[in-house]
Amino acid sequence: MYYLKGLSLLRKFKRFHSGSDNALRMLSEYVSYAEPGKGGNGQISDQERDELIKWVVRFKDLPGPIVEIGTLLGYSAQALCEGVLQSGVRKTIYTVDNYGWNPMGVQPYRHRMLTKLNLVLAKRLTDLVIVDSTAEDFYKSFKELPSFVFIDADHTYASVKKDLQFFKDIGSPVISGHDYNFPDVHRAVHEVLGEEGLEVFSGTLFLWTRP
């Protein structure tokens, strides 16, 4: 329900960059990359989105906020917010990204703006907190116990392992993530979380519940 259509996004973007051919070209590329349901380019597909919503609803009674590491364009954050709305249980959703990478190769400040535009409605309807930070810096200041974690940031083995280990060590009851089919992600998941309590959806999403 949160997806902003290309025309609406274009109108908003024009207010910031009126007359800029390069900016409009970049926006056109963004709309193409960010078309809901396509998946790829670091995004979740419609099927993955629906499953993620179900997971949030499934664990609605666990206390604590929801944390996402890796906002990118905001589509998985939208799914987390939709899950909270469907659950009827109010929760804070933290989505964390330093905007250091995007599939269009645009500058971080444009990436930030476009992602925030994409999350306008989600932010109005839920307690969504957009955190502009590296995961490492976020971990230094984060003092809560999340009820649900979704990891979809840097997919290198070392980074995924660090993300998983942090949330496992602080006692997070549910840890999930994207791109389980990536070799480094797969390896980190099995080394840190193990087999017990692990579920996999469509070969790409993983869900671990603390035994």
Report yes or no on 19 lying in a domain: yes
In the predicted structure, residue 19 carries a pLDDT above the cut 80: no
In the predicted structure, residue 44 carries a pLDDT above the cut 50: yes
Strand 66-69 to strand 92-97: parallel, antiparallel, or no bridges (unpaired)?
parallel
Identify which of 177, 188, 98, 187 has the alpha carbon closest to the alpha carbon of residue 136: 98
Split into its structural domains, the chain has a count of: 1
Report yes or no on 195 lying in a domain: yes
Distances (CA, A) of 149 to 25, 119, 173: 35, 19, 9
In the predicted structure, residue 9 carries a pLDDT above the cut 50: no
Report yes or no on 93 lying in a domain: yes
Report yes or no on 155 lying in a domain: yes
Where in the sequence is the domain holding 77, given as residue range(s)? 6-209
Whichever domain contains 36, its CATH number is 3.40.50.150
Report yes or no on 88 lying in a domain: yes
pTM of the model: 0.86
Residue 103's pLDDT is 82
Residue 105's pLDDT is 83
Report yes or no on 32 lying in a domain: yes
Distance CA 152, CA 100 (A): 14
Report yes or no on 1 lying in a domain: no
Tell me if residue 177 falls in helix, strand or coil: strand
